[in-house]
Amino acid sequence: MEKQLHLNLLASRPPVPGGLQSGSKMRMGPGRKRDFSPLSWSQYFETMEDVEVENDNGKDISFTAEIYSSGQHGPVLLLLHGGGHSALSWAVFTEVIYNRINCRVVAMDLRAHGDTKVKNSDDLSAETMAKDIGKVVEALYGENPPPIMMIGHSMGGAIAVHTAAANHVPSLLGLCVIDVVEGTAMDALNSMQNFLRSRPKTFKSVENAIEWSVKSGQIRNVESARVSMGGQVKKCEEPLNSPGVSKSIGEVIIEEEEEEEEEGESNHKRKKEDDQEVKKESLYTWQIDLSKTEKYWEGWFSGLSALFLSCPVPKLLLLAGVDRLDKDLTIGQMQGKFQMQVLPQCGHAVHEDAPEKVSGSTFALSSA
């Protein structure tokens, strides 16, 4: 039996009768072409709204946060996405966990991401982004917010820790951090620019972006990619006709799995034809240029382990691999300061690749 979260604040819902569970994967038969068409947010969230957040002086609007939510009662699960992603990365997870427990789910586009509008979008410091979270919670719930559990992935996990440590969410009842560890993150910063340069700069369509995300392994769950990638890309303001643009797209699309190997030749021919068409169409590019945020990277992750361990609420660390654990967290975990679970066979986007497993782990956060 699944154990409940924090003094039984989260009660389980009756199981959904019949049919496939949300987030489950359907195996395509041989020769079946996978569907990479976009899916709407409305299939996973009940509402989408713009929440205006005032400046400290209470006179002007500081920024307008894009909020996706489900549920009207119970504790709040506040979901923070990773760098370059958007609130839509939580879509499939939201449907899964909302059908499992009685809660409210709130996923927000962080500043400079998705459809959140902010006057100073260049300020992505951990301090500013943590304050944003507190201001959004206040705008949503006033001075007496309901019990809130924060769940953050990658950069969003780091921001969740900074938010908790600064007590910007006074009603915080739990903290779940997904696949971000100080030691590993700091080590990876030196190669981050090379990684960003290795990604295609443009896509000929949202479908093309979805296809790339799946075949490159960025997102291993096709359903999640179909709703998530729409929040990661936007139409280019001006058509790009550089000869190198279409080539970068074709190069990163890798071959299908074994059952599609026989289609290799026709796929290769199709890619060449697509590459020629790219120059004639409106292109899509990344919603945010992460390479320009480099000056904030160290601030997101430096000292993160100590901050995480200092947060006086039940804590869960979900990792895609045990090798990601650093020294401070290893000691803290041995001392029982937080719970940890490793979800193998997942990529970095753990909550997208395995929403059912992440939902189950979240549900049991405060159980011993």
CB atoms within 10 A of CB 368: 7
Q: Are 326 and 205 in contact (CB under 8 A)?
A: no
Q: Which two tokens stand for residue 8?
A: 């039984």
Task: Please spell the DSSP secondary structure of 264-323, one letter per residue.
Answer: HHHHHHHHHHHHHHHTTS--EEESS-GGGGHHHHHHHHTTHHHHHHH--S-EEEEES-GG
First vs last C-alpha separation in the chain: 13
Q: Are 365 and 322 in contact (CB under 8 A)?
A: no
Q: Residue 247: which H helix or E strand, with range?
A: helix 243-252
In the block, tokens 């390479």 appear at 291
Q: Which two tokens stand for residue 244?
A: 């190198």
In the block, tokens 């059952």 appear at 259
pLDDT reading at 275 higher than 60: no
Higher-confidence residue of 3 and 149: namely 149
| pLDDT tens readout for residues 107-135 | 999 999 999 999 888 899 999 999 999 99
Catalytic residues: 154, 179, 348
Q: What is the pLDDT of residue 281?
A: 60
pLDDT reading at 32 higher than 70: no
- Beta carbons within 8 Å of 18's beta carbon, 6+ residues apart: none
| pLDDT tens readout for residues 73-105 | 999 999 999 999 999 999 999 999 999 999 999
Mean pLDDT (the chain) is 84
Alpha carbon 257 to chain centroid distance? Answer: 25
pLDDT reading at 307 higher than 70: yes
Residues shown for the chain = 368
- Please state, in angstroms and rounded to a whole number, the distance separating the CA atoms of residues 138 and 141: 5
Helices 155-165, 126-141: crossing angle, 10 deg rounding? 70
| pLDDT tens readout for residues 208-251 | 999 999 999 999 999 999 999 999 999 997 655 544 343 344 44
